[in-house]
Amino acid sequence: MKKERLMTPGPTQVPEGSLLTLARQATHHRTPQFEALFEKTRRAMADILRTEGDVFFMTGSGTASMETALMNIVAPNETVLVLSSGKFSERWAEMGEVFGAKVVTLTVPWGEPFRGDQVADLLRAHPETVAVFGTLTETSTGVCHPIAELGRAVRENSDALFVVDGISGIGADRFEMDAWSVDLAVVGSQKALMGISGAGFVAVAPRAWGKIEKTPRRGFYFDLLKYRKSAESLTTPFTPAKSILESLAFNLDAITGEGIEKIWQRTALLAEAARAGIDAIGLKRTTASPADSMTAVFFPEEGAFDPKRFMSEMYGRFGVKFAAGQGEWKGKIFRMAHFGLIDEFDIMGTLGAMELALCAAGFPVEPGRGVAAAQQIFLRGN
């Protein structure tokens, strides 16, 4: 039997206490117990997101929450600005097209972050823009975008709403929805929240409701006005993925118990150790603006190196599952997470396994270099 070591930036390992809730008998969702669960998880998420706004539990994977955010604020032929820097942020543009928006795209090369002045210039050139769509952590490249700076640029140069996909970043990379002028934020269940896949949250700042109310309804299930109405009675408009929410409640208790500030610091240390180890091994990381939630790494370019062998050695021999590259970086990179249940032990163990797998795949490294570099970071601490 093989021990699975899920190191992907989602889905991630789920805490045992959370899994055990899934074994309980089904109960109905139109009950006082569900109302209590609804309110408790809503409050916890508002705390994690640092918002005074509304937070809605959405059934459907992260993309469903993205779609909810977009279709509730964009009418046909309205202009939206998409900050496109990888596979996931490209999705905002694809979605905008499907909903009939005029999509203006600001693109940076993969691996680079956006700057506020780039956004400001484009908003001044397109004063008709109703919404700007950004991403906290671009999971396909490992970049963490400077959302505070981008939020300031949006607010100071337009009346547009600022929407942030924080599906993989929120709960691991610092994110302060209200202070950073974010009007809608989207989170997924299966990333730093350590939940089962298939659900998410959409957070809405008070400033966004005017536009939501004015936008023609273009879908039934994801209509935020329905979610707001039902939330007044502490429930969802349709049958929710209640077991996912029940198991998430366990994780949210743990997250708010530890405190999001402390989790950001702990994650930053794990990330620093992972980066130090990877650098010491002699691999090249994809970005100079890395997320703390994850690290993306180029495969060595040496002719003899076999990336497939490396990945199969990691998974087949050590049970370590990494995510592969996507889009233009397919076959070129691997990606590992350092959020949720992942701890110091996982980082050191993964680096040790990587050293052996790299040797087996044709990239000789001196065993122990990466592990030692990570240990130095842990010795020093935060």
Ligand X SMILES: Cc1ncc(COP(=O)(O)O)c(C=O)c1O
Are residues 300 and 283 in contact, defined by beta-carbon separation less than 8 angstroms?
yes
* Alpha-carbon span 291 to 57, nearest angstrom: 25
Which residue do the tokens 């966004």 mark?
A: 208
Q: Which CB atom, from 174 or from 358, has the smaller least distance to ligand X?
A: 174
- The answer to whether residue 135 forms part of the interface with ligand X (CB under 6 A) is yes
Given the complex with ligand X, which of 143 and 348 has the nearer CB atom?
143
DSSP summary character for residue 313: I
Residue among 139 and 287 whose Cβ is closer to ligand X: 139
Nearer to ligand X, 53 or 188 (CB): 188
Closest CB to ligand X among 167 and 249? 167
Among 167, 280, 336, 374, binds ligand X (CB under 6 A): 167
Cα 196 to Cα 11, 139, 246, distances in angstroms: 8, 18, 10
What phi-psi label fits residue 368: left (phi over 0), alpha (psi between -120 and 50 degrees) or beta? left
Q: Which of 5, 7, 10, 153 binds ligand X (CB under 6 A)?
A: 10
- Measured between alpha carbons, how far is 273 from 117 in angstroms, rounded to an integer? 32
Distance CA 240, CA 199 (A): 9
Residue 322 C-beta: closest distance to ligand X, Å: 14
What's the Cα-to-Cα distance from 261 to each of 150, 173, 248, rounded to whole Å? 21, 10, 19
φ and ψ at 275, to 5 degrees?
A: -65, -45
Selection from 282, 313, 271 nearest residue 322 by Cα:
313
* Stretch of 125-133, 162-170, 231-239, 343-351 contacting ligand X, by CB under 6 A: 162-170
- Could you say whether residue 235 binds ligand X (CB under 6 A)? no
Q: How many CA atoms lie within 13 A of 289 on its CB side?
A: 19
Pick one of 12, 41, 61, 85: the residue that binds ligand X (CB under 6 A).
61
Per-residue x/- marks for ligand X, 347-366, CB under 6 A?
Answer: --------------------
Contact call for residues 228 and 49 (beta carbons, < 8 A): no
| Nearer CB in complex with ligand X: 62/325 | 62
Least CB distance to ligand X at residue 107 (A) = 16
Q: Return the residue matching tokens 């879908």.
A: 219
Q: Determine contact, residues 114/85, Cβ cutoff 8 Å.
A: yes
Closest approach, Cβ 64 to ligand X, in A, equals: 7
Q: What count of other Cβ atoms lies within 10 Å of the Cβ of residue 240?
A: 19
The one-letter amino acid code at 104 reads V
Among 34, 38, 57, 88, binds ligand X (CB under 6 A): 88
Which residue's CB is nearer to ligand X, number 10 or number 53? 10
Residue number closest to ligand X, CB atom: 62
Cβ at position 17, least distance to ligand X in Å: 23
At closest approach, how far in Å is the CB of 139 from ligand X?
A: 3
Exactly one of 53, 171, 188, 325 binds ligand X (CB under 6 A); that residue is 188
* Contact between 62 and ligand X per CB under 6 A: yes
Tell me: does residue 165 bind ligand X (CB under 6 A).
Answer: yes
Only segment of 24-32, 163-171, 203-211, 261-269 that touches ligand X (CB under 6 A)? 163-171
Q: Which parts of this chain interact with ligand X (CB under 6 A)?
A: 10, 61-63, 88, 135, 139, 165, 167-168, 188
